[in-house]
């Protein structure tokens, strides 16, 4: 999301966070694999964004800036966790995304897809979320995750194969 015409970076960040928050939250849940940890990470990211607002360039993509910040915060948490050797950030596949979806059928399907995506390895899960859900291009995703575009393509291909296999197994059909 671009915020044009804002000259004060602090004001641009304060005004832009509410519009980006739902997408940031989804990204954080995908990173952490848990709803509660995703909530915490999204809040930490917003707090850090407000603290570091002077580093934001108004007129650029605030959502991308927030996603990169969230990813870095998460990696820092994982490093701290590894040092402390605790299990406070272990993934729980039972957590679900609280989507406000109009029909019951759509809600059930979204929950199933989210659970299957949540079961993907972290690298594939995060990459798939950015490309499939958030609609970023491979190049934009590669830039946000600081990986080569070929790696994005490889992760997307592996995620598609895994999800297709899981969906076929769930429906009992052969492709």
Domain that holds residue 33: 1-92
The answer on 81 and 22 residing in a single domain is yes
Tens digit of each residue's pLDDT (9 = 90 or more) over 123-149: 998 998 888 888 899 999 999 999 999
The pTM (predicted TM-score) of the whole model is: 0.61
How many domains does the chain fold into? Answer: 2
Tens digit of each residue's pLDDT (9 = 90 or more) over 41-63: 999 999 999 999 999 998 899 99
Instruction: For residue 61, give the 3-state DSSP assignment.
Output: strand
Tens digit of each residue's pLDDT (9 = 90 or more) over 79-123: 777 666 544 444 444 454 444 545 666 667 667 777 788 888 989
The answer on 87 and 3 residing in a single domain is yes
Average pLDDT across the chain, whole number: 81
The answer on 118 and 63 residing in a single domain is no
The answer on 74 and 150 residing in a single domain is no
Q: How many whole angstroms from its chain centre is CA 54?
A: 24
- What distance in Å separates the CA atoms of residue 121 and residue 102, rounded to the nearest whole number? 30
What's residue 173's pLDDT?
Answer: 60
Domain end (from 65, 92, 119): 92
- What distance in Å separates the CA atoms of residue 162 and residue 68, rounded to the nearest whole number? 26
The answer on 48 and 31 residing in a single domain is yes
The answer on 112 and 60 residing in a single domain is no
The answer on 135 and 154 residing in a single domain is yes
């Amino acid at each position: 999301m671009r915020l044009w015409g804002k000259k004060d970076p602090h004001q641009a960040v304060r005004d832009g966070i509410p519009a980006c928050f739902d997408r940031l939250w989804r990204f954080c849940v995908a990173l952490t694999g848990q709803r509660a940890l995703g909530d915490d990470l999204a809040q930490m990211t917003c707090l850090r964004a407000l603290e570091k607002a002077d580093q934001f360039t108004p007129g650029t993509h605030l959502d991308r800036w927030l996603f990169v910040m969230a990813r870095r915060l998460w990696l820092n948490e994982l490093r701290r966790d590894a040092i402390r050797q605790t299990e406070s950030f272990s993934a729980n596949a039972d957590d679900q995304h609280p989507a406000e979806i109009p029909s019951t059928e759509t809600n059930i399907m979204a929950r199933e897809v989210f659970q299957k995506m949540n079961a993907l390895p972290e690298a594939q899960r995060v990459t798939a979320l950015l490309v499939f859900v958030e609609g970023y291009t491979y190049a934009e995703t590669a830039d946000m995750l600081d990986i080569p575009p070929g790696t994005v393509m490889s992760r997307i291909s592996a995620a598609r194969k895994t999800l297709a296999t899981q969906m076929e197994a769930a429906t009992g059909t052969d492709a």
